[in-house]
Amino acid sequence: MNYIKRFYISSFLHITLYSGFYLIYLQSLGLSKTQMGFLMSLSLILVALLEVPTGIVADKISKKASVLLSKILMVPSVLVLYLTHSFLDILIATLFGAFSVAFLTGAETGWIYELISREGKTEDYPKVYGRIRSLEMMGSFIGTLTGGFLADFVGMKLTILLTLPFVIASLLVLVTIPKDTVRSELSYHSHLLESLKFIKKSPEIAWLFLYANLIGASVIPFTSFMQLYFYKFLVSLTTVSSISAFHTLVNSISWYLDTDRYKGVLYRYAWIALPLLLFLAGFNRWLGFVTLTLGTFIFAQAFKEWQKKFQGIVPDEKRATLGSFYSLTAAITNGLLTAFLGWLFDHMGIMRGLAILALPFLVTGFLTIKYLAFTPSSS
């Protein structure tokens, strides 16, 4: 079994049994939508603050070690969530989760790309990346669907605890994969300054950061509160968890498929397609299923193309750091947006809030496409 297959297995073991009812669990503990929005926002902002330091550590010490540490930190996160009795407990679980994500992002993709590049197979990276994300989503699909049924029969708390064996199994598989070898020889601060200079001297990097942040921000308003969106008119843990499972299945298929013939079109017009789908979800509750399906597919295809462009222009010794810089900007953008969403949906309702939020994204999309028509090299 080669190392790519082991990455595939580890990704498939990303089975989080509570992902389909997480917000409902928080709601059962008495948290308001504002508090939920705050927790999600805090998690994203903490990840943002930790991204660059953890990325530099990965480039200077080991990307593999960073990924393994990420898996280890998931253990206390799950345990505290299981034992929680208060908002403070959930806050602690959120902190562990944020550290886990920070050590993973940038390091994982950089580790994979370096191993592939050793064999001169960088052209295979988009396909490998897509397969990894696809199998991760497939594991999430199984976990979400199973978790919903388990929660109805044994309760949400015990279902949360049953996530731990999958976290440990994924960690053990990753241990067997060859480590990365390229290291930055610069000091921490010098490495950071050189990475910043690289971004400043590369307009393409800045453009790619902007692109990924905007298409991500036009998806977050629906996906971040999707469970509560559907729970409002489909009042069943099993049903909502099944919808979440369906979402992960669509996600898995979307990452797995390669639309070579249309990838350029999807990448170019995701700016406007995604906010249009966001508006449809706010216009009619049943159209939320259309947004769930098409929005997931378009985002996955556009982001795979983005990954190919991004990884192809970043040096090996800066890959985790620059990947973390992107994650930092995405975490800040999504964190601030999610905090605002919690407040907006509390005061205006989810559907009306989605329809209103879609409008500025649509305007931005139209203006961007018009700009790209005059500067095609930027696309």
pLDDT (tens digit per residue) in 192-201 = 677 777 777 7
Contact 370, 248 (CB under 8 A): no
- What is the mean pLDDT of the segment spanning 52-80? 87
Question: Helix or strand or coil: residue 162?
Answer: coil
Is the pLDDT higher at 52 or at 151? 151
Cβ neighbours of 265 (radius 10 Å): 13
pLDDT (tens digit per residue) in 330-372 = 877 887 888 888 888 888 888 899 999 899 988 888 887 766 6
Residue 78 has what pLDDT? Answer: 94
CA distances from 284 to 16, 65, 222, 230 (A): 30, 47, 13, 12
Distance, CA of 365 to CA of 359 (rounded, Å): 10
Residue 73 has what pLDDT? Answer: 94
User: What percentage of the chain carries pLDDT values higher than 90?
Assistant: 21
Residue 1 has what pLDDT? Answer: 44
- What is the mean pLDDT of the segment spanning 280-284? 89
Residue 299 has what pLDDT? Answer: 92
* Confidence check: pLDDT of 42 > 80: yes
* Confidence band for 376, pLDDT divided at 50, 70 and 90: very low
* Confidence check: pLDDT of 173 > 80: yes
Residue 185 has what pLDDT? Answer: 65
* Confidence check: pLDDT of 270 > 80: yes
- What is the mean pLDDT of the segment spanning 120-136? 83
Across all residues in the chain, what is the average pLDDT?
83
Residue 159 has what pLDDT? Answer: 93
* Confidence check: pLDDT of 223 > 80: yes
* Confidence check: pLDDT of 378 > 80: no
Weakest mean pLDDT among 42-56, 75-89, 210-224, 334-348? 42-56
Cβ neighbours of 180 (radius 10 Å): 26
Is the pLDDT higher at 231 or at 261? 231
Contact 277, 294 (CB under 8 A): yes
**Among positive and negative, which fits the CA dihedral 352, 354, 355, 361?**
positive
Q: Each residue of 112-147: b (16+ CB within 10 Å) or e? A: bbbbbeeeeeeeebbebbbbbbbbbbbbbbbbbbbb
Q: Tokens for 267, please give them.
A: 């990448």
User: What percentage of the chain carries pLDDT values higher than 70?
Assistant: 93
**AA letter at 323:** G
Identify the structural domains of the chain with CATH numbers, from first to last.
9-378 (1.20.1250.20)
* Confidence check: pLDDT of 26 > 70: yes
- What is the mean pLDDT of the segment spanning 253-279? 84
* Confidence check: pLDDT of 103 > 70: yes
Residue 53 has what pLDDT? Answer: 78
Is the pLDDT higher at 145 or at 35? 35
